[in-house]
Amino acid sequence: MTCTEFQTRAATWVDGELDAAETLALDAHAAGCARCRSLAEAERGFRQLLRRQPRESAPTELRARVVAGVRRSARVRALSPWLAAPAAAAAAVLLALVLRPGTPPPVIGQLVDKHIAYAQLESPAEFVSTDRREVGEWFGARAGLRVTVPDYSPAGIRLVGGRVAEVGEQRAAWVIYEKGRTLMSVFIAPVAAGGPRLEGTRVSFRGHEYLTSERKGYRTVSWTDGPAVFGLVSMLDYQALLECADRLRLTRAEAARL
């Protein structure tokens, strides 16, 4: 077993959810590899920290505002600056994931669950850096994922770092941001054959189609773009999420031109 293979399964191993043969294989690798052993220890500490955290909950009035917000964003062309979004509602997760044909997992739900858990942490990043290029390169080296890291600093959203997340059996890059003390993250992974199965209410924003939905008080905005499927999960209103989505599209287009 290589270090990469170990690290891909480490989170599942720590959770004790691998079968016996795989567990033994990872036990053996950890016994002989100090680096992977320390990564696994960090993961275990991370999980313990997660279990100690209270769950974040979304106020009812926020939900009401979001419902109003999505109606507005669906029909208004010129939107006010998303910088004005209240900091208290600023948790956001932007997700891109791989979906496999025939086995459509409740992907958005899983990502919302991960966000709820990770948003409680002081430092959820596996790789900490405020450098967009550095974070992109880390994903390439760590998991072979090509990741576009958008710049949300004009909106006061600071890059924190990255984490490789498992969604179903797929690997997704999770780029983590924060606004004040609230997390915002971006999941990115190549799309598999068969295409995505995303669900939600159709919304058009600046000439692009998105799907919106709400789970557990968090908003999601998802879409397909070229080789990736994206989903945005957040406590921000839909208007801000759609701005984030649009900015990611622009960043990807710029990267493609270089």
Instruction: Rank residues 41 and 131 by Cβ distance to Zn ion and give the closer one.
Output: 41
CB of 5 to Zn ion, least distance (A): 9
Binding of Zn ion at residue 36 (CB under 5 A)?
yes
Strand 182-188's sheet: what is its strand order? 127-128, 158-167, 170-179, 182-188, 92-97, 228-234, 218-225, 208-215, 201-205
Binding of Zn ion at residue 33 (CB under 5 A)?
yes
Where does this chain touch Zn ion (CB under 5 A) — which range of 2-10, 18-26, 189-197, 236-244? 2-10
CB of 35 to Zn ion, least distance (A): 5
| One character per residue 182-201, x = contact with Zn ion (rule: CB under 5 A) | --------------------
CB of 1 to Zn ion, least distance (A): 8
Binding-site size, Zn ion (CB under 5 A) = 3
Binding of Zn ion at residue 30 (CB under 5 A)?
no
Q: What phi and psi values does residue 198 have, to the nearest 5 degrees?
A: -105, 150
Binding of Zn ion at residue 3 (CB under 5 A)?
yes
Instruction: Rank residues 36 and 160 by Cβ distance to Zn ion and give the closer one.
Output: 36
Binding of Zn ion at residue 25 (CB under 5 A)?
no
Binding of Zn ion at residue 40 (CB under 5 A)?
no
Binding-site ranges for Zn ion (CB under 5 A): 3, 33, 36
